[in-house]
Structure 1
Amino acid sequence: MKLFEQVAQPLVEQASSLLGISLSITDEKGIIIGSDNKGRIGTLHPVSSRVIEEGREVVFTKEQVDNMENVLPGIAAPICFNHKVIGVLGIVGEPESVRKYVKFIHSHIEMFLRESFRTESELVQMKTTELFVQHLIHYEDWKDTSKLEEYCQLLGVHFNRLRVCLLIHFPVLQESSSQAEPLQTQLQSLIGYLFRESNEDIVCPVNQEQWVVFKIIDSKGEPKLRRTCESAIGKLTAFLDREGVHGRVTIAYGKSYMGLEGAARSYQQAQKAIMAGLRSDSEESVYSFDSWSILPDIFLEDIDLRFLELFADDIRNIWEFPESDMLIETFIAYCESSMNVSKAARNLYIHRNTLMYRLNKISELSRIDPQSFEQCIVLYIALKKKERNPLFMKVSGKNY
């Protein structure tokens, strides 16, 4: 047992230093893997085989070991794990003097092994889950999904029920990277407590600033999902505040689907929703993919850049105008003010006539009718898309 070999020497050193006695631990083959006398490590302890075979405590007096090599007087007790003897604890000294330590040290070692194994198993489970999630969220890259199905069997999860993906964004963790690692285990427990209602709900980090939850849900559970998220944000924010990490926690979720492909789709939707939410000026902290408050932003982000080819000349005319920034800001404000001239002028803190002059200039440069909703919305989308891609883009073979 590799874990046993790793912890044997630290356990011996700890107990020997604390109690002031001499100890040794052997593996199931009788090889000493832990001793306060480091010169004995790696040597054979010949009588360990007897202790392992009999499965009980054995006493060795000074007279009994006089003619034995590498055996000291004391008490030897079998160390068990999962109902199997995996080694032997040896406490060196006059048997009657050291007997009082046997039960305490023996129990401590077996308890430590159980806890270490549980912790190691949890870490393995977490790493396996993280690998699975990385495969799942890149589902479209996999021609053969058998690997994903193997992970499902290994983790004991099934995707034959509706699942929704939630993304939890912690920008403060990225900014405070030195604090991020110690918080991961605590966050794992807290997020699991807040969202996991089934043993098959999946919780794990996607990167340093995001955690993902693939949660089983039914039609009755969807209406309360937002309330669950809002409550969770309060608790997560309070937890981070106590840890001295301050900032905005954001949660977004996609729609619910069945199957591995559906789960990946829900993740992509949650990712788009959270990016749109972070870009928005909204004070909300929970975003749903189908929320009208962010759907226009998601729609805009998904428009193919080739769309701009249709308006290359018109956009270039606007962009090359000496006061292009002012014109674009005015036009966007006009559209976002429901094409209401007075309202747009107030929002821009300019005179109504100044606004009209600028709109007329936009019309002159782009041949658009500022009174036409259909024409304005198309130019608005084109300008917003260009605004999001500040680097020069090639349109119709030209840079602009």
Structure 2
Amino acid sequence: MLEYNEVRNNFNGEGKVIEGLVQVAQRIVKAASEISPFPISLTDESGYIIGDSDSSRIGTLHSPSSFVLKQNKLILFDEQTISKMKNVLPGIAVPLIFDNKTLGVLGIIGDPEKVEPHVKLVKKYVEMMWQETIFRQSKQLEKRTEETFIQYILLNEKVNKETVEKFCEILHINCKINRFCIVVDIGDSLVNRVGEKQISLDHLKDVLIDHTLKIFNCKENAICTFLNTGKMVLLKPIPSDEVYIKTMEQFSYQSRKLMEKFLNYQIYNMAISAGDQSSSLVSINKSYHEAERLIKVGNELELLPRIYNYYNWDILLVLITSQIETKLQDKLEFRLKALIEHSDFKELANNFMVYCSNSMNISSTAKELYIHRNTLIYRLKKIEKITTLDTSCFEHCTFLYLILKNHMSKLKK
């Protein structure tokens, strides 16, 4: 269960800063040593060394650091000053500042007079690296939290409204605006690239998310993240029904552009779908499941291109045929048993389906089938005799078309 207090605590700034400094201290020391002719050390707010040019000192108490933190100013330690101190080397110690708070100490080891000209440069460099690293870690934490939150609201049938609103507050997300869900299924494309050295998986995900946001023309309040390595979701804000309709009109074009862009990253055989609108994040899972179902139906029926949404009439037609209840379909097929079991069923059914796709026009259908129009008329009359349906009647043709469409879809599975 997603816990609000746990994530809230993870966003506690000062705690994450200290933790981040501990994790990257040695890397900072190594980088700073390249611009400093003197060894350096880093201590935390409790006075313990967490980074040092001499790694054997890491974890030991450096008592003067506490004094530096209290004074919050640069202090020189010459040979006479340190003569009675334990684990202290000559040099200069200066407080490190993050977000206007003193949370650590930089020590530059050597003759104070020789060290002093280098203090400001090394201090600024260390603070810059420190802040950049912590910022990057904070962004990663925020991204992981967002991923967990989106998984919670999309993959659970019911969510707690109060929990959703609290997390929206943490992540600075507007909860109460219309959105719809776009699912981008990339299969095993990323999994198959694990271990490649050219680009990290996290960086590649960020790049793909940026392309998705740009191509679908997302600005404020859009949420785009990975649910797992094979599936990305975009929760796109929609201010009105009119905008939604316009967005759906552009959906196929934008999806094709995204597929073309993803080819540059060796991502093939994608599927992209869109669900209907939802009034808030509390109910957005309905839009997600609609989009997922479209992909499932599209895969089962091998529909191409693999771009699906409810604004597409062809998709709606497929959904209508697939929505016929099993018991009703069985009854309908029993009624048409004589046709389905006829030795010429495949030919008759195919001719009839082409006849429907040509708007029940005899001449056009015969031309497409490369048969004489009288041959087509004979076969249609044969269907009428077997089924007692009138192939010149639009309602009868629609009825037979839907039954045969569903029947043939089942045969493909």
Which interval holds the TM-score relative to the shorter structure? 0.7 to 0.9
Give matches, 1:54-69, under 5 Å: 54-69=71-86
Of 219, 234, 239, which residue of structure 2 is paired with 1:212? 234
Of 394, 398, 403, which residue of structure 2 is paired with 1:373? 394
Note the C-alpha offset of 1:81.
1.8
Which residue type is aligned with residue 150 of structure 1? K
The CA distance in 2 between the partners of 1:66 and 1:90, in whole Å, is: 17
What is aligned with 1:154? 170
Note the C-alpha offset of 1:72.
0.9
Of 104, 108, 114, which residue of structure 2 is paired with 1:91? 108
What is aligned with 2:182? 167
SS at match of 1:174: coil
- Is residue 329 from structure 1 mapped to residue 346 from structure 2 by the alignment? no
Which residue type is aligned with residue 58 of structure 1? I
The CA distance in 1 between the partners of 2:343 and 2:35, in whole Å, is: 80
Q: Percent identical across equivalent pairs? A: 28
Paired residues in the alignment total 387
Of 69, 75, 79, which residue of structure 2 is paired with 1:52? 69
Note the C-alpha offset of 1:360.
4.7
SS at match of 1:384: helix
Give the stretch that moved more between structures: 232-241 or 8-17. Answer: 232-241
Note the C-alpha offset of 1:71.
0.9
Of 56, 69, 83, which residue of structure 2 is paired with 1:39? 56
SS at match of 1:137: helix
Q: Indicate how the Cα distance of structure 1 residues 41 and 264 shifts in structure 2: closer, same or farther if over 3 A, else same.
A: same
TM-score computed with the length of structure 1 as normaliser: 0.80
TM-score computed with the length of structure 2 as normaliser: 0.77
**Which residues of structure 1 form unaligned runs of 5+?**
393-400
SS at match of 2:60: coil
**Which residues of structure 2 form unaligned runs of 5+?**
1-17, 194-198
Give the stretch that moved more between structures: 93-102 or 213-222. Answer: 213-222
Which residue type is aligned with residue 389 of structure 1? K
Q: Indicate how the Cα distance of structure 1 residues 7 and 384 shifts in structure 2: closer, same or farther if over 3 A, else same.
A: same
Note the C-alpha offset of 1:22.
1.5
Of 38, 42, 51, which residue of structure 2 is paired with 1:25? 42
Of 310, 334, 353, which residue of structure 2 is paired with 1:313? 334
SS at match of 2:284: helix
SS at match of 2:189: helix
What is aligned with 1:348? 369
Note the C-alpha offset of 1:281.
7.2
Note the C-alpha offset of 1:73.
1.0
Say whether the 8 Å CA contact 1:52–1:87 is kept in structure 2.
yes
What is aligned with 1:5? 22
Say whether the 8 Å CA contact 2:96–2:127 is kept in structure 1.
yes
RMSD: 3.7
Say whether the 8 Å CA contact 2:272–2:308 is kept in structure 1.
yes
Say whether the 8 Å CA contact 2:189–2:266 is kept in structure 1.
no
Give matches, 1:294-305, under 5 Å: 294-305=315-326
Give matches, 1:286-301, under 5 Å: 289-301=310-322
The CA distance in 1 between the partners of 2:253 and 2:404, in whole Å, is: 38
The CA distance in 2 between the partners of 1:231 and 1:372, in whole Å, is: 37
